[in-house]
Amino acid sequence: MINVAVVGYGYWGANLVRNFVENRNCKVVSICEIDEKKWPALGRKYPQIFLTKFYNDLLDNPEINAIVIATPVSTHYELSRQALEKKKDIFVEKPLTTKSFQVQELISVANENKCILFVDHTFEYSPAVIKIKEIIDSGELGEILYISTSRINLGLHQSDISVICDLAPHDLSIIFFWLNEEPIEISAVGKGFIRKSIPDISFIKMRFVSGIVANLLLSWLSPIKLRRTVVVGSKKMIVYDDTEMMEKIKIYDKGVIVNEPNNLNLTKSRLTYKTGGITIPVIETSEPLSIAVNHFIECVKTRKTPKTDGRNALRIANALELAEKSLHTGVGGIFKKC
């Protein structure tokens, strides 16, 4: 049995605790939460779990095999490093850190101590996202032309990171997973309206060597919640809506056909607009976070490299750095190969 401890019991920490408690291959033995006002409710819900506000209680406990880190992003690097140096496997909420040099250091420390470094890019475990990957790889959509994403809502405003670092990791990890390709250039614009120093809306553009372009809309300042991605191919198109319960993926048999010039008009190509039907594929209804947790426990037991490991996190950190820099300077940047 794998003994697990969780540090941080906020919004996502609560989801993580629930999923680890429900997993039959591990046991949550401790939760570290500095806000003692949460303890009474925690104690009633999980009476069997030891509560503490001291992180060292987790680090110094030889019976704890793995630590789950669900704290503010600004604390991830230090908490992760301390755990790895104590030879604890770690599961870290996204993003691992927003600085690529820190990610590289954590990769090195994990390798030195032979520890599992798992980053919670949850959507790479989503049955819907995996299904779209299969559709893209099958060639059903034809050549991928562009991808457009909208991840907007009213809040939640973060105090230590911008909307880019908060929301973009989801879409970046999804796009990199689908395309199996890194961008060659990233640029961004945005602005902080509620807190002037922290951007709460941003538009990110990425260009890939294959010719694909991707655009990301991110916002904490929207009257509606959208979690929508459009993938446009030369043959078909996909709309992926993560807010849908049953019909997350819709495949549209739509497109533009370019007809060669005929004998009557040798200079102009004729365009035909194809408007076919809509296909809704059947996908699993398993919770992505549950799948991610199960994969992490499997990696801890077998010592295999996680699907979302440090190298995966490094690509995200590189992209976040470029987007943040572009937002402040107005100049796009060249992506560093991982």
Q: What is the pLDDT of residues 53-75, one digit of tens each?
A: 999 999 999 999 999 999 999 99
Residue 90, helix vs strand vs coil: strand
Q: How far is CA 179 from CA 100, 133, 213, 217, 253, in A?
A: 22, 8, 11, 19, 21
In whole angstroms, give the CA distance from residue 305 to residue 303.
7
Which tokens sit at 204?
Answer: 């990110």
Q: Check residue 244 and give its pLDDT.
A: 95
Of all residues in the chain, what percent carry a pLDDT higher than 90?
A: 90
Q: Which residues lie closer than 8 Å to 203 by C-beta, 6 or more apart?
A: 188, 189, 190, 215, 216, 217, 218
Q: Check residue 200 and give its pLDDT.
A: 97
* DSSP state string for 140-183: TT-SEEEEEEEEEEE-PPPSSS-HHHHHHHHHHHHHHHHHT--E
Between 215 and 331, the higher pLDDT residue = 215
Q: Check residue 43 and give its pLDDT.
A: 95
- pLDDT(337) > 80: no
Q: What is the pLDDT of residues 109-150, one digit of tens each?
A: 999 999 999 999 999 999 999 999 999 999 999 999 999 999
The average pLDDT across 294-298 equals 99
The angle formed by the CA atoms of residues 305, 306 and 312, to the nearest 5 degrees, is 105
Q: Which residues lie closer than 8 Å to 177 by C-beta, 6 or more apart?
A: 123, 124, 129, 133
* DSSP state string for 191-219: E-SSSTTS--EEEEEEEETTS-EEEEEEE
Between 163 and 262, the higher pLDDT residue = 163
- pLDDT(93) > 60: yes
Between 198 and 269, the higher pLDDT residue = 198
User: Which of these ranges, 31-40, 213-222, 258-267, 312-321, has the smallest mean pLDDT?
Assistant: 258-267
Between 330 and 34, the higher pLDDT residue = 34
Q: What is the pLDDT of residues 181-201, one digit of tens each?
A: 999 999 999 999 999 999 999
User: Which of the four pLDDT bands, split at 50, 70 and 90, describes residue 261?
Assistant: low
Residue 97, helix vs strand vs coil: coil
The average pLDDT across 87-111 equals 98
Q: Check residue 264 and give its pLDDT.
A: 54
Residue 33, helix vs strand vs coil: coil
Backbone torsions φ then ψ of 188, nearest 5 degrees: -150, 150
Q: Check residue 274 and give its pLDDT.
A: 85
What domains are defined for the chain?
A: 2-122+288-308 (3.40.50.720), 124-286+319-334 (3.30.360.10)
In whole angstroms, give the CA distance from residue 336 to residue 320.
12
What pTM did the predictor assign? 0.93
Nearest to 130 by CA among 23, 296, 248, 25: 248
In whole angstroms, give the CA distance from residue 175 to residue 177.
5
The average pLDDT across 159-181 equals 97
User: Which of the four pLDDT bands, split at 50, 70 and 90, describes residue 263?
Assistant: low
The order of strands in the sheet holding 50-52 is 50-52, 26-32, 2-7, 66-69, 89-93, 117-120
Q: What is the pLDDT of residues 195-230, one digit of tens each?
A: 999 999 999 999 999 999 999 999 999 999 999 999
- pLDDT(265) > 70: no
Q: What is the pLDDT of residues 8-33, one digit of tens each?
A: 999 999 999 999 999 999 999 999 99
The average pLDDT across 25-46 equals 97
Mean of the per-residue pLDDT values of the chain: 95
Q: How far is CA 212 from CA 22, 127, 182, 184, 336, in A?
A: 41, 24, 11, 10, 18
Which tokens sit at 327?
Answer: 């937002």
